[in-house]
Structure 1
Amino acid sequence: MFIPFQPLRTSSLSKKAPTSVGRVVAITGGSGFIGGHLLDALIADDTVSRIYVMDIAPTTRWCEKVTFVYTNLARDVQFEPQQKIDVVYHLAAVSREPGFEWNEYFDINYEGTRRLLKWASKLDIKNIVFTSTGMVFKAGPFHRAPSEVPSADTAYGISKALAEEALSGWQQSKRGRHVAVVRPGAVFGRGCGGNFVNLHRALRLGTFAYIGGPDTVKSCIYVKDLVALMRGAAELKGWHVLHGTYPQAPTIGEICNAFCKVFGWTRVIPTVPLNLALRAAAPLQMLNELGFSNPVHKRRVEKLHYSTDIDGSGLLELNLAPTHSLVEAIQDWRDECAPADPH
């Protein structure tokens, strides 16, 4: 449930919090899309007594057990909590790609993670769940297992892969530390923006075209299933890498069919060759570079063409696989946003 944000009084962080037997958690990036959904679930969990939302923007969810702590991972973390933190969900990141300068991804995603680990070591925090990305692998016609060595070719993917390496070193450097790295595919749900919202809009208007064909694999996950995965990952011991996607990742054609089934559309979707799509996008990208903003970018066109196929089958044996089918997830998303379109 969304609860309007109420600013904290200055004294709220200085007063001693009451002793509680419940778990204490911290969420970096807790004011964002995924963080907000995670926060909703933790608020509803009676076993959680205190939630520290560590972000540069205040949370819009608020209740007695939520405390907002301004945290900018471009600098060292100075926050000293009033209770021992049982688990940190580390979501804060520069993630839109394209959208930032090359160095910005590394300063927050990699160096920011190192700053957070320094803080966690100081407070003797032993359990971290890290939201990485399937983009630690180069997109293409490859099926990627969690055990494979990352092969990113973008600043976003490389910075996340380096952060994973930092977390691995931190986990191994002291006995009793636990880290779960969760690599989601494309995440969709209420408040997501981005790829799935754009796809919905294009299908609704009848303007969507396959780039290269309908068989491009697009690993993805509904945000509610991702939150359940992350919460389950917090119970794992040692080092784990989990791919947040359907055990059998859908193709772009299957995703489009699911949208059409849920919304009752009949669409004949054309196919455009990649080279032709890139040539058509070039003038619009040039306008972008001249300051005339539009959503077309070479990288976005390429992302429609290249597969992002990460193997989520390992979630089945851990009982952490998505519980919503693709159609059920899109239907639930639609219903949550009604009467407006999914957003």
Structure 2
Amino acid sequence: MSKLSPDPEREDPHRSLHSETAGLPGEHPGRARNPLIRITGLAWLEFEKPDLARAERFLVDFGFTVTDRTPEALVLRGHWAGTPSMVVRRGATSRFVGPAFAADARADLDRLARATDRSVRPHRGGHAVDLVDPSGFPVRVVYGVPELPALPERDPSPVNAGNRSARVNATQRPARRAAQIQRLGHVVLGTTRFRTALDWYLETLGPIVSDFLYLDGQRERGPVMAFIRCDLGSVPADHHTLAMALQPQTGYLHSAYQVTDLDEVAAAGWYLGERGYRHAWGIGRHIQGSQIFDYWRDPDRLMFEHYTDGDLFDSTMQPGWAPLSASGLSQWGPKATARFTGARDPEVLLAAIKALTDRGNEVDFAALRGLIQAMSS
């Protein structure tokens, strides 16, 4: 039986990406009228690492459980039942390869393959179609991959809040240890072809936008960042499964993994700090998505997030609009650091210069100036 529930709004002609929408010029409706398929979530993320032993040490300390290990690959999982969260293969450099998304039915793979001139092939006990998005990221869509059973995990901490007493004659003693990751939540990508990539995802895979961010003073050019959720009809979905932002360089920004509560976020962060890992930003609460977050970098500087208490939206929620700014990324918490934004990274400056000379992207002087102002605000 399909996981999707009927949604009469899907046939609203005003939801076409190419129709006129209410609001300012450049306003985007945030969903496609008739996408090829509608994905139901992230299946896993794929990475390459030159040193699998070092990669495994960080990922286990971060909270993953190794479910398969060979000389050429690691497969890691969270505690909830489902597909593995991450596949790490041996490679020449440390890099994010691409996401794998879950389809709702085998027929979706057949439809996707016909429309994109691809083929359906066996993969990890199920089937997959391999695509490439406009930014150049390999995108895998899978169905029928066998799920792993749930692992034991602790219950959320009982909390005495106001006049509600959940804990009497009992102390609170969270352990400082590796997190018990529950599941993969989302991935955030930077791209020099934001609008093209956004429309491709909405039209091809059928997610919908929860929130748009635009450059302050440049809203007429449309959004430069989107938080995108799966369209599950009346079934609530994570605020974002995928987020994308216009950047001077195409690449992975971070991925996020759900844990049970604030104690798990905080205690696991102390554990990572005691083991010498580099903290990037947190603890705080986001505005778009509302997650309580904490960001860490692995030994190769790739960024990973622990989070808890994220928003859930059904298909009736329309996109929010807000200006992009570093200070607007959190409701409370420390200021966003240069370790998080990459504002002081020499590679970003070189990428910006290159982007301005490349006519095949959406980065111009106005956008670059707006992005710099946003990340320094």
Task: Determine which structure has the larger helix proportion and give its number.
Answer: 1
Task: Determine which structure has the larger strand proportion and give its number.
Answer: 2
State whether TM-score is above 0.5: no
TM-score by length of 2: 0.28
